Amino acid sequence: MTRKRTAILISGHGSNMRSLIEAASEPAYPAEIVLVLSNRPEAQGLAVAKERGIATAAVDHRIYTGRENFEASLQVLLELHRVELICLAGFMRLLTPSFVRLWEGRMINIHPALLPAYRGLHTHERALADGAKIHGCTVHFVVPAMDEGPIIAQAPVAVLEDDTPETLARRVLAEEHRLYPAALAAVASERIKLAGGRVIFADPSDPLARPPGAR
Ligand code: GRF
């Protein structure tokens, strides 16, 4: 099995990046993290990746005149490192439809909510304000519209009576760290395919096809 050459795009803390790097440190894991890119030179995640011996680069969006030029620099680095898959992990820049189309079916994202609920920011605050009982996270293929795209996997998290946005975020993040490596493995090992805009599992009993706790 050849491991899929994977880049992770971050903007900040990079805890999801860390969980992906950790999973990929297993030789049997179907993806290899070959590059970590950040649009913010100060992102803490860059130092962590460097320590792990992974190639890193900061492409500071503020020095570019337009999104296209910024993305052209990203693309040069992705090609240089012969990247096959991209994981967005807390990457806080909107990508243009043409860049997204270039990576169609090869770029995935994690979102801290059960999509299509709570697209965008402040998902935990909004779920609490609505009195939601179930919240969670989603890994999906990236399409031009923000926080949309075929869903690969989801993990539910129960909302507790005394939750604050911070306590809820902590439990969702713990699920993200479990879900993202599992979802990347499914994509990298081609256990799933895209058909008619939906994700189909080669094996319907694939554990990822049915989240634990769902009846
Ligand atoms: C995560 O909650 C992720 O779902 C969202 O941004 C946050 C990034 O956290 N897209 P980290 O940088 O991975 O720690």
Reported as a single tens digit per residue, the pLDDT across 42-99 is 999 999 999 999 999 999 999 999 999 999 999 999 999 999 999 999 999 999 999 9
* Same domain for 186 and 88: no
Tokens representing 144 are 């031009």
Distance from residue 2's CA to the centre of ligand 1 (Å):
28
Q: Which position among 111, 124, 135, 177 bears the catalytic label?
A: 111
Domain count, the chain: 2
Final residue before a domain boundary, out of 53, 87, 103:
103
* Same domain for 88 and 1: yes
- pTM for this prediction: 0.97
CATH code assigned at 156: 3.40.50.170
Whole-number pLDDT of residue 1:
74
Please give the residue range of the domain that contains residue 205: 110-215
Residue with tokens 């801290």: 112
* Same domain for 116 and 73: no
Distance from residue 192's CA to the centre of ligand 1 (Å):
24
* Same domain for 39 and 23: yes
Q: Taking residues 202-212, report their average pLDDT.
A: 90
Instruction: Show the CA angle centred on residue 210, arms to residues 209 and 211, nearest 5°.
Output: 120
Final residue before a domain boundary, out of 60, 78, 103:
103
* Same domain for 209 and 160: yes
